[in-house]
Amino acid sequence: MKMTIYDLRTSDEQAGFIQACNRSLHAIPDNPYLAAHGDVCSQQWWTHLDDGKLPVKVRRGPVTHLGPTRDEFADEPCDIIRFEVDGRDHEYDREGFWLNPDIHVGDIVTVTTTKATVEPPTGENTWFIDLKVEIEDANNDLHLTK
């Protein structure tokens, strides 16, 4: 069974992040990304995404860790979800939709993302934007409720 736990098109959960992304994009003079695609989540931006004019990446893999652990760099406690894609770990802080009780170790997570990249004189700036997050019950034990 597959369930969408986040969809940027229908959720305002990441509205603060999107606003911050757009503020950052507007802070770059003569920003070619804005000129080409408009603000993130604007009608022009969605049209360009749907037309394939924006890069899209899909990462899919099993959940290998869910819950408290220690941050290996800051050596402090943290609460994360970790999943593996092509032998590489991907981690998110467990907050918002990542706290969904239907996610379990072993389930398959699919994260679809895009990015906004500009190269001002000070160096490249990239914002990674999650478009959709889905989970699949890998064991068919029907623990997913939606």
- The rounded percent of the chain whose pLDDT value lies above 90 is 74
Average pLDDT over residues 17-21: 94
Domain membership flag for residue 53: yes
Q: What is the predicted pLDDT for the residue at 118?
A: 82
Contact 109, 66 (CB under 8 A): no
Domains: count for the chain: 1
Domain membership flag for residue 142: no
User: 43 pLDDT exceeds 50?
Assistant: yes
Cα dist from 116 to 38, 100, 113, 127, 141, whole Å: 11, 27, 10, 5, 38
Q: What is the predicted pLDDT for the residue at 146?
A: 46
Domain membership flag for residue 143: no
Side chain identity at residue 96, one-letter code: G
| Among 13, 3, 2, 4, CA closest to 129 | 13
Domain membership flag for residue 8: yes
Domain membership flag for residue 132: yes
Average pLDDT over residues 76-96: 93
Give 109: exposed, middle or buried? Use CB within 10 Å, 0-12, 13-18, 19+. Answer: buried
User: 111 pLDDT exceeds 70?
Assistant: yes
Domain membership flag for residue 87: yes
| Among 32, 92, 82, 41, CA closest to 62 | 82
Average pLDDT over all residues of the chain:
90
Domain membership flag for residue 144: no
Q: Which residues contact 32 (CB under 8 A, 6 or more apart)?
A: 118
Q: What is the predicted pLDDT for the residue at 30?
A: 87
Average pLDDT over residues 72-86: 90
User: 66 pLDDT exceeds 90?
Assistant: yes
Q: State the residue range of the domain holding 23.
A: 2-136
